[in-house]
Amino acid sequence: MKPRVGIFSLTGCAGDQLQILNMEDELLDLVSHIHIVDFQEGSSYKEEGPVDIAFVEGSVSTETDLKHLKEIRERSKVLIAFGNCAVEGGIQAMRNDEGSIDERLKEVYGVEPGFFDARLSKPLSEYVDVDLDIPGCPVEKEETLRAITSLLHGDTPLRFTYPVCVECKLNEYPCVIIESGKPCLGPVIRAGCDARCPGLGLDCIGCRGPVDSASGFAAEYSMLLEKGYSKEFILNRLRVFSGEVKEDFLGGDQ
Ligand code: SF4
Ligand code: SF4
């Protein structure tokens, strides 16, 4: 019996599902080893019943999302938060501390509370147990394939627990902060992209989310302040892909 795999979607852009479809060279081999029971972006075919591995992309941003997530958790042995919306809450969580959902519905859409079943955007781990997270906006193809291969072999997939700077130095790329004062987020962002942007002479904008905790944000913040960047610029930059980055994360000297 092939493992039953579901690729589910909550609120997001569906870019992580698209990354699976983009695995053009590997896709046929992959589907010969698994049985896909749900994959909204790939097919309208759906099956009820238990799931061995559930990939869930998107954040919990509506009551419908929350109900769907709990149902997926109940039927799944392994649940993977797939992509930054699922892992951190995504771009839609970046202003969670600025007003209630009702105030925003009023301001943005001009509707009264309850018009949509919207909630403040949260990561999956706020509501259910998550067995593995695969970050990225979108996810990296190789990391996803490695995780699936490990799970099919009964192994625990590897997680990147160090920052982008490590990959940057292993590649011997010049540091764009030191060389040109660019506001690189590499020191606080989870590795796994092989330091793609510094390799092109660009600063990391943090698309893989924070490395395991926000504990390094205060040091990054002080360094970028010293380089002349404003508090608002730094906070906005951190918030794009790292979910709710509260001002407290920046430490005392604000
Ligand atoms: S360029 Fe960015 S990722 Fe590379 S060492 Fe400097 S801060 Fe780190
Ligand atoms: S933004 Fe940062 S984490 Fe994203 S690909 Fe570029 S270097 Fe990697």
Q: What is the pTM of this model?
A: 0.93
The pLDDT of residue 253 is 54
Find out whether 224 and 176 touch, Cβ atoms under 8 Å: no
To the nearest whole percent, how much of the chain has pLDDT over 90?
81
Of 204, 220, 240, the one to substitute when testing ligand 2's pocket (max ligand atoms within 8 A of C-beta) is 204
Q: How far is the CA of 220 from the centre of ligand 2 (A)?
A: 16
Closest-approaching ligand to the CA atom of 192: 2
Label residue 213 by pLDDT band (50, 70, 90).
low
Give the span between the Cα atoms of 34 and 37, in whole angstroms.
9
Of all atoms in ligand 1, which is nearest to the CA of residue 189? 3
Of 204, 223, 234, the one to substitute when testing ligand 1's pocket (max ligand atoms within 8 A of C-beta) is 204
- Asked if pLDDT for residue 254 goes beyond 70, the answer is no
Mean of pLDDT over the chain: 93
| DSSP bridge partners of 55 | 7, 80
Ligand 2 pocket, 177 CB below 6 A?
no
Residues 15-73 have pLDDT tens digits of 999 999 999 999 999 999 999 999 999 999 999 999 999 999 999 999 999 999 999 99
More confident: 215 or 150: 150
Q: How far is the CA of 3 from the centre of ligand 2 (A)?
A: 32
In the sheet that holds 35-39, the strands lie side by side as 35-39, 4-9, 51-57, 76-82, 132-134
Overall average pLDDT of the 166-183 stretch: 97
Of 166, 171, 172, 175, the one to substitute when testing ligand 1's pocket (max ligand atoms within 8 A of C-beta) is 175
* Comma-separated ranges of CATH 3.40.50.700 domains in the chain: 4-152
In words, the CATH class of domain 4-152 is alpha beta
- Asked if pLDDT for residue 93 goes beyond 80, the answer is yes
Residues 116-170 have pLDDT tens digits of 899 999 999 999 999 999 999 999 999 999 999 999 999 999 999 999 999 999 9
Q: Name, in order, each residue with C-beta under 8 angstroms of 30's C-beta and a sequence gap of 6 or more.
A: 23, 145, 148
Give the span between the Cα atoms of 116 and 62, in whole angstroms.
8
